[in-house]
Structure 1
Amino acid sequence: MTARFISFEGTEGVGKTTAITQLCEYLQQQGQTFIRTREPGGSVFAEKLRELLLAPESQIDDDTELLLMFAARCDHINTVILPALEAGKWVICDRFIDSSIAYQGFGRGYGEKKTLSKIQSLITQFVPKLPDCTLWLDLPVAEGMQRAAKRSTADRFEQEAVAFFNRVHQGYDHQWQHYPERIQRIDASGDVQSVTNRVIAAISAIS
């Protein structure tokens, strides 16, 4: 299978980590070389920014948050993602540009044209490679938050109110409607195997 850049997206608690693990196991079984990475983070420098962005005690305004996200992303792309793709490796990424639209665009700015325009400008300037396929794991917000609440201490984003995550969900739906050729909506309900089967079917269709 040709090396692909795959991103996973979704609101909190949809099961991205498990789905990514299952896909990586599948690729390994198929004899494919790949790297597993994440945003914010993925590179040495970006991981340091991740600590600041997710720390519950961090006081960061919306514009600063957006710029830090893209600073981390720029380093991540140039030092990790592009070199891996050039080496013929699959890149499996937990979140990418659609998170910025959903969280910073809709979550923070509620989809205001001014906010989305800022993000699109940053994507145009600093993102030379979009994912070949983005899998949006979709689950009702309330159900996802119930799952997330069972995990460890909430980070700065996970502490947001339900209304914030409802707007984030609207952001993902907006992206899916506008970029159906790249973004595939995956029903994240049901058991792990059912979701895994949907993910692998989606990936197999583009391989």
Structure 2
Amino acid sequence: MSARGLFLTFEGGDGSGKTTQSALLTEWLTQHERTVLHAREPGGTELGLEVREIVMHRRGFVAPRAEALLYAADRAQNVATVVRPALERGDIVIQDRYLDSSVAYQGAGRILSMAEVRELSLWATEGLLPDLTVLLDLDPAVGRTRLDASRTRYDRLEAEQLDFHTRVRDAYLELAAAEPERFLVLDATRPVDELQQSIRGRVSDLLD
């Protein structure tokens, strides 16, 4: 691992198991005496919590470009005050969602330009990209059944129709195909322990 630390992100549709896999990876890394920082978007900072409430739960219409800008603002604050300082300390940062979420959800999902949304995030983060992005790929219809079993309140994105989430999934796969060296794409219907072993194997390669 470089002195800069390691930046790992988890992506995927709702119900794909990002939280479970990131928690298992953290446990494994901690057992190997690695310092791990958890981060998330949106809402990983005090400012981000305010932005999260707006973008996830505000009633009424939010223009797609306004939504994309709000996510970018949250991301800029998170990288500047949480992620980059941790990387500079040499920590491993494991983050739930990053710029690929904006490209997929605000770009493809809201039918904006995926390229423009990506450039907005790169500007907000001064070009910071993850060392590894784990994409847990799942049929949106299956993801919905998983959410229905555990949620009593749905945010603005979770509540979107199936065609929205299908566009998001397709965008994720397109992004992964364009950057195969950064993405690890896994079938999220595989057993939890199998998925974790695949993730640990890829992370081990980065740590060597």
> How does the TM-score come out when normalised to structure 1?
0.93
The answer (yes or no) to whether the contact 2:39–2:94 under 8 Å persists in 1 is: yes
For structure 1, which runs of at least 5 residues remain unmatched after alignment?
none
1:162 aligns with 2:184: no
Aligned length: 203
| Segment of structure 1 superposing worse, 125-134 or 60-69 | 125-134
Partner SS state of residue 100, structure 1: helix
Amino acid at match of 1:54: M
The CA distance in 2 between the partners of 1:163 and 1:123, in whole Å, is 24
Cα RMSD after superposing both structures: 1.4
Alignment partner of 1:92 out of 91, 94, 106: 94
Superposed displacement of residue 56, structure 1? 5.7
Mean CA deviation greater in 186-195 or 72-81: 186-195
User: 1:122-158 deviations in whole A, cap 9, x for unaligned?
Assistant: 1332222110110001122211111111122111111
Corresponding residue for 1:148?
A: 147
Q: Identify the range of structure 1 (90-99 vs 139-148) with the bigger mean alpha-carbon deviation.
A: 139-148
Report the counterpart of residue 70 of structure 1 in structure 2: 72
Provide the residue aligned with 2:106 in structure 1.
104
1:118 counterpart (116, 119, 127): 116
Would you say the 8 A contact 2:104–2:114 is kept in 1? no
Q: Which residue of 2 aligns with 1:7?
A: 9
Determine what percentage of the aligned residue pairs are the same residue: 36
TM-superposition CA deviations, 1:91-110 (whole Å, max 9, x none): 1000001001110111111x
Amino acid at match of 1:119: V
Equivalent position of 2:195 in the other structure: 195
Amino acid at match of 2:205: A
Distance 2:181 2:194 in 1: 23
Query: Which amino acid in 1 is paired with 2:180?
Result: P
